[in-house]
Amino acid sequence: MLDFETAELVQPGGYVVPDGLKSRLSLYFLDRPAGDHGHAQRLRVLLATQATDGEPRGTIFFSPGRTEFIEKYLEVVDDLTQRGFWVVIADPRGQGLSGRILEDRLKSYVESFQDYADDLGWVCDTLAPHCPKPFIAMGHSMGGTVVLQAALSGVLSPSAVICSAPMLGLVDIDSGLMRGGIRVLSALGLSRRSLPFQKQRSGLPVPFADNRLTSDKDRYKRWATFFQDTPRLRVGEPTFGWISAALISMGFINRNAAQLGIPGLMVAAGGDQIVDPASVETFAVKSGSDFHVIPGAKHELFLERDVMRNEFFAAIDAFLEEHAL
């Protein structure tokens, strides 16, 4: 246990933490002070130690996607700690049990993705004295964008990055006209307005048959239960401001791909209806990263069926072995 304020683990509907993991978990609230470019922010953070004997292989700093929270990734935490790693995950600002940004807690909003990146860098700096090296940055979707933004902007210096369906090109926003229109509307004062015509409302999940995240019904149901039973975790549809900030971040990352300078693994979901798989491959080529695609998988590779999930982790294992991590 570290000398930080203890935070709670949410377990709706009798949710059971994977065997042996709960005794290796600690959750904390870390209060990031206001800096030159941002407000003070309270972040809920998980630290999990390795399940294996001997020296740990290093620490994975994991960045979740939009609307996501620590508990969604407990199965992933177990997978990674069984491989000998420590894992750190923070609820992003405005999500989970971290501090919300707007008075309306459901609003999915951020002023800049650099705020997410700065939070991740600060969490890493704060916990670095307590965590074994090397440090690996891993992120899913929005979280993949955040770890790349953090690495390319210099606020995080990991030994490698691993991204699951990183948000580098959006299927629904596939033209310069649409991107420009969103940024103009955000600048004209609609930044805190939610995008219209979204299936998800009030932070509640859509029915499984309508979801674009996974083909695994049991994992989807388990994820959905958190939002259904725990209103504090809910996050609504994206605002114009959030989308505008995402577009700016994606542009920055894609323009600077060649500057990554560290080993990277970019994994795309072949059946992704949210992130364009081609955008992931393009970034991988420009950055010199390894690229792998999981045929038929939907967006949430960590929540997919075992056959796809196993292929995903096999790609991660091969990448780590190749780079002696």
Q: What is the count of structural domains for the chain? A: 1
pLDDT at 14: 72
**81: domain CATH number?**
3.40.50.1820
Task: Report how far residue 31's alpha carbon sits from residue 34's, in angstroms, rounded to the nearest whole number.
Answer: 9
pTM over 0.85: yes
Instruction: Encode pLDDT of 117-154 as tens digits.
Output: 999 999 999 999 999 999 999 999 999 999 999 999 99
pLDDT at position 195? 65
Q: 57 — phi, psi (to 5°)? A: -80, -15
Per DSSP, the residues of 74-92 read HHHHHHHHHTTEEEEEEPP
Per-residue model confidence (pLDDT) at position 172? 77
Per-residue model confidence (pLDDT) at position 88: 98
Going along 14-125, which residue ranges are E strands? 25-32, 41-48, 58-63, 85-90
Please report, in tens digits, the pLDDT of each residue of the chain (325 residues total).
788 999 999 998 778 898 899 999 999 999 999 865 567 899 999 999 999 999 999 999 999 999 999 999 999 999 999 999 999 999 999 999 999 999 999 999 999 999 999 999 999 999 999 999 999 999 999 999 999 999 999 999 999 999 999 999 999 775 554 556 666 666 656 666 766 555 566 789 999 999 999 999 999 999 999 999 999 999 998 898 999 999 999 999 999 999 999 999 999 999 999 999 999 999 999 999 999 999 999 999 999 999 999 999 999 999 999 999 9
Predicted confidence at residue 178, as pLDDT, reads 58
Rounded Cα gap, residues 191 and 242, in angstroms? 7
CB contact at 8 A, 167 and 145: yes
Structure tokens at 237: 């549809």
Residue 47, pLDDT score = 98
**Domain encompassing residue 127:** 5-322
β-strand pairing of 135-140 with 58-63: parallel
Residues β-bridged to residue 140: 164
